[in-house]
Amino acid sequence: MPEFHFYEPSKGHDLAHDPFKAIVAPRPIGWISTRDVNGRPNLAPYSFFNAVADRPPMVMFSSGGWKDTVSNVSATGEFVCNLVTRALAEKMNLTSAALPHGMNEFEFAGLAAAPSRVVKPPRVADAPAALECRLVQIVRLHTAEGAVLDHHLTIGEVVGVHIDRAYLKDGRFDLLATHPIQRAGYVADYTEAAIGFQMSRPK
Ligand SMILES: Cc1cc2nc3c(=O)[nH]c(=O)nc-3n(C[C@H](O)[C@H](O)[C@H](O)COP(=O)(O)O)c2cc1C
């Protein structure tokens, strides 16, 4: 029998580093572009990010604090999720800098912006895929005991999908060919998805 370390998060973990985000990992990164009410673009990575429905497609991201991204989505009802690849990793990281409100992370990180089709926020031109989204709901999280938290779960419906045709093969998006990266265990850890395999669902 292996021996397990057990802890209850509300009482502390007794480890040098909090393992929670190393267990729920790797996580896809939603690199989220928005515009503020004055039309100024904003771009930031969110790894509390995932797909939550497929018909219609929906995604969510969670903001720890009322950051510019959720504030812009709340005000404008629109955002775009850009796929992060290994080639874009360092620039993605730059866009996580705490810049003053209204400062353009596209320019700060040296990223080209391309227009979206259905929503107003631009997408990252070099991202091989991007999802244009309309806001469905912002849910303020609370604990199991009902204590209200400063965490804001933002759910969007995907209303437009961009795919770089270079990664379309036989009608499928060749995700691994883009070298997508994910957030992994601790604060500086990432993975690059490289190995895929197939398995059919039981009948
Ligand atoms: C890979 C990565 C993932 C991140 N994920 C999140 C997240 O899920 N939630 C969050 O609140 N901040 C996250 N951050 C931090 C934000 O990107 C950072 O606070 C950023 O300045 C927010 O920008 P904004 O104020 O323009 O929205 C992440 C940072 C990195 C580098």
Residue bearing the CA closest to ligand 1, atom 26: 68
How far is ligand 1, taken at its centre, from the CA of residue 45, in Å? 5
Residue 106: the pLDDT is 97
Q: Is residue 72 within 6 Å of ligand 1 at its C-beta?
A: no
Angle at 43 between CA 40 and CA 81, to 5 degrees: 115
- Ligand 1: residue of 31, 40, 67 to mutate (most ligand atoms within 8 A of CB) is 67
Sign of the alpha-carbon dihedral angle for 51, 170, 178, 73:
negative
Q: What is the mean pLDDT of residues 5-10?
A: 97
Angle at 96 between CA 147 and CA 92, to 5 degrees: 130
Tell which wins on pLDDT, 187 or 156: 156
How far is ligand 1, taken at its centre, from the CA of residue 106, in Å? 15
Q: What is the mean pLDDT of residues 23-38?
A: 97
Spatial distance between the Cα atoms of 35 and 23, rounded to a whole number of angstroms: 33
Residue 99: the pLDDT is 87
Q: Which amino acid is at 81?
A: C
Question: Is there a cis peptide before residue 28, judged by omega within 30 degrees of 0?
Answer: no
- Which single residue is written with the structure tokens 């004055």? 38
User: Taking the domains of the chain in order of start, what are their residue ranges?
Assistant: 28-192
Domain spanning 28-192: which superfamily?
Electron Transport, Fmn-binding Protein; Chain A (2.30.110.10)
pLDDT digits (tens, 9 = 90+) for 112-167: 999 999 999 999 999 999 999 999 999 999 999 999 999 999 999 999 999 999 99
**CA of 97, closest atom in ligand 1:** 21
Residue 111: the pLDDT is 98
Residue 103: the pLDDT is 87
Q: Is residue 64 within 6 Å of ligand 1 at its C-beta?
A: yes
Q: What is the mean pLDDT of residues 23-41?
A: 97
Q: Is 20 helix (H, G, I), strand (E, B) or coil?
A: helix
Structure tokens at 33: 């572009």
How far is ligand 1, taken at its centre, from the CA of residue 43, in Å? 10
How far is ligand 1, taken at its centre, from the CA of residue 177, in Å? 26
How far is ligand 1, taken at its centre, from the CA of residue 65, in Å? 10
pLDDT digits (tens, 9 = 90+) for 58-103: 999 999 999 999 999 999 999 999 999 999 999 999 999 998 888 8
Q: Write b or e for each residue in 150-186: b if 16 or more Cβ atoms lie within 10 A of its Cβ, otherwise e.
A: ebbbbbbbbbeebeeeebeeeeebeeeebbbbbbbbe
Q: Is residue 122 within 6 Å of ligand 1 at its C-beta?
A: no
For residue 54, is pLDDT > 90?
A: yes
